[in-house]
Amino acid sequence: CQQSTIDSIKIHSVALPITVHSALSNNILKMKLFCIIASVLSLGQAFIVPTTVTSPLRLDVSLDASRRSVLQDFSIASVGVASGIMVKNQAALASGGATAGGAYLLSAKQRYNERVTKGVKGFLALGSSLEAGSLDETREYFACNEPGCWKDLNAAGYLLANAFRRSASTNPDSLPSVKAWKKYAKAVDAVEKSLKKNKTPVTLEAYNNAETALDAYLDQVELPPSIEMRKS
Contacts 24+ apart (CB under 8 A), 66-73: none
Question: Which DSSP letter does residue 123 get?
Answer: H
Q: Point out the least confidently predicted range of 31-40, 102-111, 170-179.
A: 31-40
pLDDT of 167: 80
The span from the CA of 113 to the CA of 101, in Å, is: 16
Among the listed residues 85, 106, 93, 115, the one whose alpha carbon sits nearest the alpha carbon of residue 169:
93
Res 214: pLDDT:
98
Cα pseudo-dihedral 221, 223, 224, 230, rounded to 10: -110
What does the pLDDT read at residue 216? 97
Question: Which is higher by pLDDT, 103 or 207?
Answer: 207
Tell whether the model's pLDDT for residue 224 goes beyond 80. Answer: yes
- Over residues 116-166, the pLDDT tens digits come to 999 999 999 999 999 999 999 999 999 999 999 999 999 999 999 998 887
pLDDT reported for residue 108: 74
pLDDT recorded at residue 165: 82
Q: What percent of the chain has pLDDT over 90?
A: 47
Q: Looking at residue 85, what is its pLDDT?
A: 44
Q: What is the CA radius of gyration of the chain?
A: 50
Across the range 108-120, mean pLDDT stands at 91
Condensed to tens digits (0 to 9), the pLDDT of residues 22-80 reads 544 556 666 666 656 665 555 544 444 444 444 444 545 454 555 555 455 545 544 44
Model pTM greater than 0.75? Answer: no
pLDDT band per the 50, 70, 90 thresholds, residue 6: very low
Mean per-residue pLDDT for 160-179? 90
